[in-house]
Structure 1
Amino acid sequence: MSRSGVAELPVEGVLPALDGATGWLHSPPLTAEDLRGKVVLVEFWTYTCINWLRTLSYVRAWARRYRDHGLVVIGVHTPEFPFEVEPANVARAAAALDVDHPIALDDRYAVWRAFANHYWPAIYIADAEGRLRHHQFGEGDYERTERVVRHLLEEAGHPLPGDDLTAVTPAGLEVQADWDHLESPETYLGAERTERFASPGGVAMDRVRHYILPEYLRRRHWALVGPWIVERRASVLDGAQGRLVVRFQARDVHLVMAPRGAPVPFRVLLDGEPPGDAHGLDVDADGRGVLAEPRLHQLIRVPGAVADRVVEVVFLAPGAEAYVLTFG
């Protein structure tokens, strides 16, 4: 066993080429020759994914601590939603999230397919000879992943910057989920993948319908109120005002949304009242916020005990596109 505390790692394959990328941020295109002799950590991500966001503190810290000791971290941005295809949106998100390591733009899923990948986030680690030696699908197992990085650096003869693991203190969106109390699943709001839709009469796909609340909204269920068009990927507000309502049990509530045109003011209510100190990063204590760019918005972060609650998003102008609710 090495100093890193990792037993011998099996070879899982060969690091695929990255030449399917449609562009790069923070770096020229990286080839096998550029990466020769380096330990390479590749992470698949998409910038609205809360599961990826909760890995970012760790991957960012490793990229910075070990980059002068033989590690290259590459983020492969494979988009989930249409607006994530735009390089300008990815660049803006990377800057806002302080991501400065190389980013391969994978708009056509070519790199995704080369790795036979199926997940956001997913980490693949290759040794200095270009052999895949470890993978991690989804969040967690951060200590093990860093120990693998250290093991492969040591194996390749690169000096390690000390014997300790990297100290990481996530903040904001990057704080780990409250897994012990999280009872609400990811909920897509387009007709293609949605579940637990509670407005009476169900979804009328691709046409305007005036939706109403059910008499009782069960936990994990959601509803629309007002004139909405439920498209394949998103629910789109078609009138001057509309509401999205969900009953949840979690510490955090996030909503991926985009404006279709001008910015859209909105207000968040928790159990019918302003959220106060339970407001998220993207609204104030009165629950007021503005949808001005396509991204994930944190609506609620409950500071105390987690319980069964109802959150209501009131959009005050047309053009809001609501894609997915996520929780933490």
Structure 2
Amino acid sequence: MSAEAPPRPVRTSPAPAGASPASRLSRWNRFDLHGSPYVFIAPFFVLFAMFGFFPLVYTAWVSLRAWDLTGDGGFVGLGNYSRLMGDPDFWNAVLNTLGLFVLATVPQLLMALVIAALLNRPIRALLMFRLAVLAPIVTSVAAVAIVFGQLYGRDTGMVNGVLGLIGVDAIDWQASKTSSWIAVASMVNWRWTGYNALIYLAAMQAIPRDLYEAAQLDGAGAVRQFRSVTVPLIRPALVFTVVMSTIGGMQLFTEPLLFGQGDVSGGSLRQFQTVAMYMFEQSFQNFDYGYGSAIAWTIFVLTVIAGVVNALISRRLRGGTR
């Protein structure tokens, strides 16, 4: 009688690596760590590609063609740009844009800095004053234009009335470059000074109070504290507002358009026509889309140049304070 063979052990194959719950959790954690940031920022880039990058590229393509109301007239290369360089109306618009930019940006940022410094001090009804600086931002641009149009009226305007009290003759504010620049710049300053003041105020409130106390112990007065403590520590906010004001100044359109009662030519002699207004005139009044696209790309280039200059100046200032 032969002995029975012992039963063979049953071999179980190891579970696939992907089937392990711990492994699946590990892969999910890796995706959450490295991939989820791209998912969160993807909507911005999708929208930017649709409404920012594609129009920019398409405008560049149209600027190389003779495109008018009848349709595409064919490729002209840099013909629109060479025509632009010899266009006196374009250079007049550039001069107006730069003049309005200086008058509307420099006083605006200086006033915003002073207002923010005052609002950063312990005064009564502080919340009311902080809310008051928001009023110009939420006010309709059309309402602003109507009010300032009345203020700068030639015959019945309040500004001319005040000037008449001190013996100054009435001014036709739309008649010359200087007067129209001042009027338009005052509209821009009134509307955006409070916005920049709130940005500066937020930056000032992040400065530790210990620094002011140390400066006070060293004998620094309020003005010296502002120059030596406040301004250097809010420099990122200053750079931000300068860059944003530069972009807005290069694209100035609404205020001068409403100041001229909807006249896109900016007065009888184009005395306050900006580059954006000239682009609109060529594109949607003269229906010269190729030429208007070349102007639009020139605005983009001017804005980039102004931004680079601001960045270089800011870097030089940072290097000088270290």
Interval containing the TM-score (normalised by the shorter chain): under 0.3
Higher helix share: 2
How does the TM-score come out when normalised to structure 1? 0.24
Counting strand residues as a fraction of each chain, which structure ranks higher? 1
TM-score, L = length of structure 2: 0.24
